[in-house]
Structures are given as structure tokens and as C-alpha cells.
Chain A
Amino acid sequence: MSVEIPKDTWSGSVRTVTLGATAAAGGTRSHTVTVGGHKALPFMHFEQPMAHRPAIALEIRDRRPDDWSPLLLEVWGDAVDDPASWAIAAEKAGADLLVLSLSLTGLNGHPTTPEAAVAAAKAVLKTSGLPLLVFAPGQADLDNQLLVPVAEATKGERLVLGICEDKNYRTIVATAMANGHLISTRTPMDVNLAKQLNILVRDMGIPPDRVLMDPTTGALGYGIEYGYSVMERLRLAALQGDGNTQSPMIVTPGTEAWKAKEAKVGQDVPAAWGDWRERAITWETLTAVALIESGADIVVLRHPESLRRVRVAIDDLMTVPETV
């Protein structure tokens, strides 16, 4: 019996976005990372070759985090006290990209200063050749105060500046455009909100190949199904030709998974949860793999072993099978 395999044909495609600029392009990165470009649903190689593989970013911070799980602090060791060393460690662990998250306050308890933010970003750029994403703490006013000087001090690097939300996108988009950077937009798990924010940032004139979108996700057990489905819907809309959903998608399974008690805590938890370290890494890995299959182009992780496992999974998903 001959079986005719149904193939989807799509009128739209996901845009291609390149992160980082090498010396030739006016930056200092040792290489660039390109994502997106898809003309079919993720890993459907029999319909269209996957233009670019999903990339894995590791999250590092400008200073020792207060609220990270002991498992993470242990695995990164002293590197967490210094963003430059942390960047080297993350690069060694195999990251494609680095996300530098700026903290709300310094170790002294005072709000992070623009000088400190710039110093951290420059230190990371100096020690690591990986393309960099800089995420501000998530308070509109402070974010603007920190991101603008960072953008200016790193002109031409094609950094990704985040997070653009409906409250603060203007300043961030303007500084990204003035300084040759990219932006990442974030909306809370809603297809229409994602489209609206895309319209707003594009109205400011930012070229489409400088925009990533973060549709927001939840961790396994804490809302992953919403993030998963919103990403599937966004990717379907992009392929169907909706220009407001065609940016490559970035999500933060690391942040979300390590907030979950299952990953964060090892004591006073049910015996049925099993070994803490293995459970935590599985929590992060499964959250990431599920989201990659629903359309993520960049996943931001926290633990090096999760990165290793997710990379093995992506390698496998990218292998074009001969039999199918």
C-alpha cells in the first residue's frame, strides 16, 4: 500500500535574525548566531529544511544572585561573584549566547547604577566573544536608565536589549535603533498582545530583522501549557502569513523552572519527588525541550547540565532522518 504523506504548505515564514556583530560588521564578537528563517513547523525536515537551529543562551548576572537555588550557586562556584568570569564559565559550558540579567539592586542594597550596568556589560564583552543579550530588571523607569547607557557604550555590537514591554518599549527601541542593537519584546502569554506590541515597536521604524519576541512561558507544573499553546499558535499564525507574529521566539525556561519549588529546593519536600539535582535538571530540561518543539528559537537556561542535555536533544532534532 502506498501512503501519501500529507505535507503542509505555508504562505508565510519566520524572519531571520542575526545576533552579534563581528569586527567586519562593526562589533567585537568572535562569531554571530542566526535564528529563525523557518518555512514549516519545527523540525518538519520532510517539508522544508530547518533554516537555523534553535540556540541556547545561558543566563549570567551582574552580581551574585540573592534568590538562586543553591544547586545553581554550587555549580557556578565563585564565577557568580564576577560577570566576566561567569561569562567565561558559561562559554566553556557550551552556550551559544549569553544573557546578562541586571539586578534591581547592587550587593549594597541600593538600586543598580548605570555605571555598574555598563561596567558589567563591557566586562562580559571583553572576556567572551559570544553574542550578548542584556536584560534589565523589569521596572520600566530603572530599565530605561540602565539600558540606554549600556546601548550607547556598546554601539554596533548587535546586542539584544530586553525586555521591551508595552510600558517602556519607546526608549528601548529608540536606543537600539540609534546604536545598532536588537530588541526583545515581551507580552504575557497572549497572541493578540504579542501582535499589538509588535505593531507598536514596528511603528517606530525598527527594522524587522532586529526584533525577537518573548511570548512568556511558565515552568513545567506552573503554567507551561499556556506558554506552549501560545507559541504553537504564534508559529502557526506566522506560517499562515501574519506579519506581526513572524519574529523568532525567545523564552526563559531557566528562569521559570528554577522558580518552581521542585527545582529550587531540596529539603522538606515529598520523598516521591526523588533526587533533588536530577529532578531540578529534568524540570529545566523538559520545560525547554517542550518549548523548543512548540517553536522556541532561543531558550535561556541556567544550569550547565541542562544546557548539555538540551543541546543533545537539539542535535538529534536537527538530524534529518534518512528513513522519513
Chain B
Amino acid sequence: MPLTGIQIYKLLPKTNCKDCGLPTCLAFAMKLAAKQMELSTCPHVSPDAKSQLADAAEPPVRLVTLKADGHEVKSGNETVLFRHEKTFYNKPGLFIRVQDDEASDDIEAKVSAADIYTVRYVGMDLTLDGFAVQSASGDPAKFADAVSAVRATSHRPLILIARDPAIMAAGLRAIDGESPLIYCADAGNWNAMADLAKQHSAALAVCADKLDELADLTSKLKTKGINDLVLDPATRRLGESLIRQTQIRRLALKKDFRPLGYPIIAFPGDASDLTQESALAAQAIAKYAGFIVLNRFAPEMVYPLLVLRENIFTDPQKPIQVQPGLYEINDPKPGDPVLVTTNFSITYFSVANEVEGAGLPAWLLIVDAEGMSVLTAWAAGKFDAERIAKAVKETGVANKVARKRIVLPGHVAVLSGELEEELPDWDIRVGPREAVDLPAFMKQVL
């Protein structure tokens, strides 16, 4: 949270010496708050005030970035508690966890399947972000082997999990030169963990089940020069996690409380009931986690979570749109039908995917409906006969087809009469309501 002019004023010399070119220190403070002048313009600021003012310029939730070979996960830099207030910026990273006492074949199988996993959602290829390797055996060599096995299979960022600094050191040596996230520093081991984090430029997760202990730890680590910190408030159930994560985000944003101004790591994979892993992960996505560690790699769980993450992190001011125009699906010929819909991306892809998936050729005419779904746009007056006719003319689709057949979405069957008037030489057909039924309709009716 940026400081107000008054808060800045309190840190200035208050001598009104005018060396900055302004009549008073207060006037200078106001200019600084409005970011219209630089702090260095005042030659008399004390070093202490300088560092406090620099601190205040930092974002309330620190940005922590994990990088590895072309992949990166960014977390933090959030500015609001509710997405409608502005938007959420950095999607939390989704990591799959393996344990070092699993057979190395199993580790490799799980990691390689998760590593290559991609799923298409509204034209985007969604993937997982990385892997967490946990020491379960207590044996440094085994931990190092597991880390190496994961690294040999995937190039994505890693989280290393071990409380014993000796084991952690072994894991870090296995990926020398990389900067993973290491988990975790606690009241007992923080000094040694700090040294490891420093040595490897790693981000460091901190774990404590009370907020004051968590804040103590981050403050101590900060004095040791560790800045890339991640918080684990040690809650593992829905209720307590929701509360803790809300409290942490509020303290960071509303109170500008630096010791808790870091991204949070959540462990839905620790759920006692297997079927709750997805619910915990969903909560973590919506309610403020920055790194999320899952146990299971199951497409039927990962796909809904990836979609939820896209949904929650879309900018509420901008629906995801596609470019209006004429799209060719499966190399259409002049004899193939024209299907019409809106430029809301979910709508476009629902239709395009069905037709493409069924291998049917068609001309897909995308009307500029300001990024709204069929019914929303219709209700808002952005998808009517006039707009459709305009799109037909502008795209010149009439010159591409021999049979002028145009198919309307079933939900806007009411438009067919007006469209006949707008496009007298076209054959207007009403399609099914849902895109799933389009292929059957195209095969049987067209």
C-alpha cells in the first residue's frame, strides 16, 4: 500500500528549507505521494527515512518468481481482496508432489504424465506448473536421487520439501545452479535454511501455525537478507485455511503489514479425505494461495482446477473475446453451410470445437457482439438481425458460398424472421440450442 502524503511528511526533516524547490516539506510530500517528484530531490532525507520510503514503494504482497529452463511461475503482487475490485494478477502455480520413498519408476511415470499434460480451454493450452519433491525417507541420498529423477523427467520449476537442512542440502546439490523454492524454515531450523536459501538463491517457504510466529520468522529471515519468502500458515482444512489466508491477505493489503506480505503456499494434497483435495485446491485458487501442491495427478481433477484458475483470474473488466470475422473450419467448400455466432470466446470455442471435432466443414461467421454470449448479447441488443447482416456483408461470405444457407443458434430462433428481411436471398435455418447437438444437426438436417 503506498504511503499517503501525510505519512511521507512525517519522515521528512520538516525544516521547510525549500532546497527541493517547493515552499514546504508538506508540499514536497504531496508531490512524492502523487509520484510527481523523486525522493532524491530533497538532499536532507535521513538514511532511515530513505529505507522506510523505499519499503513503502514495494508491493504489499511480494512478487516471488520460480524459474527453470524456460518455465516460470510468478506469484504475489496482488492488490485486492475481491476480484471485482480490480482483478487478480498472478495465477497460483499448481505443483504435483512426489515422495522420495516412491519407486523411481513410479516417480518418473507420474512426473512425465503430468509434465506433458496440456488441455485446451477457450483456445488456450493449459498446463501444470511444476513438481514438489518431498523427503519421506529421511535419507539425504534418496532425496537427492528423487530430485534428480524428477529433474531428468521435467524441466519445470521445483519445490523441495524437507525440514532437515542436511537433507535439503543434498537435494539442492542434485540441481546445482537452480533456484527452486525450498520448504521450509521453521522455529528450529530457520538459520540453516536461510544459509541454504542464500547459497542457492532459492526462495524460502516459512511454516508456523500462529501468525505472530510466522511474522517473527519472516522478520528474522529478512534481516539475514532473504527476501523471497513464501508463507505456510500450517492450516490443512477448508475452514481454518480460508480464515488464515484471508487474515494474511488483509494484513498485507489493509494494514501494509510487511512481515506477512508474501505469497502463500497451500497443500490440498494433505487432505485427509481424498475427495476433498479438489475442493481445497479450488478454495486455494480463489482465496489467495500463490503456490498449490497437489498429491494426485488426475486429469479429471486437474482440468477443472485449471479452468477455475483461468476463470477467477480473468480481468472482470474484459471478457475474453475472439476477433469477429469469417473462420474456416475443416477446409469448407462453397457448398458448405454458414454458422453464425458471437465473439465471446467461450461461445466461439464451444461451437468451433464441436464442428472441428466432428470433422465437418463449415464457415463460421463471428459477429461482433462485444464479447458476449449468444443470449446475453441478444438480451443486450448486441446480437440482432442487423448486426448479423452487417457481418455477412463485411466478410463477403456470399462470394465464398454457392448455397446461401445460414444457421442461427437455437436460442435466438426469434431472430429468423427479421434476418429473412435483412438477407432476402439467404436460406435462414434455426440450429439446435446447444453446440453439442450441432454435428448431428449438420449431418441430418443440412
- Partner-B contacts on A (CB < 8 A): 1-6, 43-46, 188, 220-225, 228-229, 232-233, 236, 259, 261-262, 264-265, 268, 270-276, 278-279, 282-283, 285-286, 289-290, 293-294, 309, 312-313, 316-321, 323-324
Contact = CB atoms under 8 A, between A and B. Distances in A.
B275 A312 contact: yes
Interface stretch (B34-42, B149-157, B253-261, B330-338): B253-261
Contacts of B303: 262, 272-274, 279
Contact of B308 (A188, A220, A272, A317): A220
Contacts of B273: 312
Contacts of B298: 274-275, 278
B235 A313 contact: no
Interface in B402-417: none
B346 A317 contact: no
Contacts of B169: none
A45 B240 CA distance: 9
B434 to A, nearest CB: 8
Contacts of B376: 188
Given A221-B121, A270-B120, A289-B279, A6 B251 contact: yes
A289 B287 CA distance: 12
6 contacts: A3-B212, A221-B307, A224-B311, A272-B118, A279-B304, A319-B240
Contacts of B212: 1-3
A318 B237 CA distance: 11
B250 interface: yes
A293 B245 CA distance: 13
B281 to A, nearest CB: 9
B238 interface: yes
Given A225-B316, A261-B436, A321-B240, A289 B282 contact: yes
Sorted from nearest, which 8 A-B pairs have the closest CB atoms?
Answer: A274-B300, A274-B299, A321-B240, A279-B300, A272-B119, A316-B238, A229-B84, A278-B300
Highest count of chain B CB atoms <10 Å: which of A272, A275, A278, A312: A272
Contacts of A44: 243, 246
A64 to B, nearest CB: 19
Nearest to A316: B238
Contacts of B255: 4, 6
A137 to B, nearest CB: 15
Contacts of A232: 82-84
B242 interface: yes
Contacts of A309: 275-276, 279
A3 B304 contact: no
Contact of B244 (A223, A282, A313, A324): A324
Given A1-B219, A44-B243, A286-B304, 17 more contacts: A6-B255, A45-B243, A224-B308, A228-B311, A229-B84, A274-B299, A276-B300, A278-B298, A285-B278, A286-B308, A309-B276, A312-B273, A318-B239, A319-B240, A323-B210, A324-B235, A324-B247
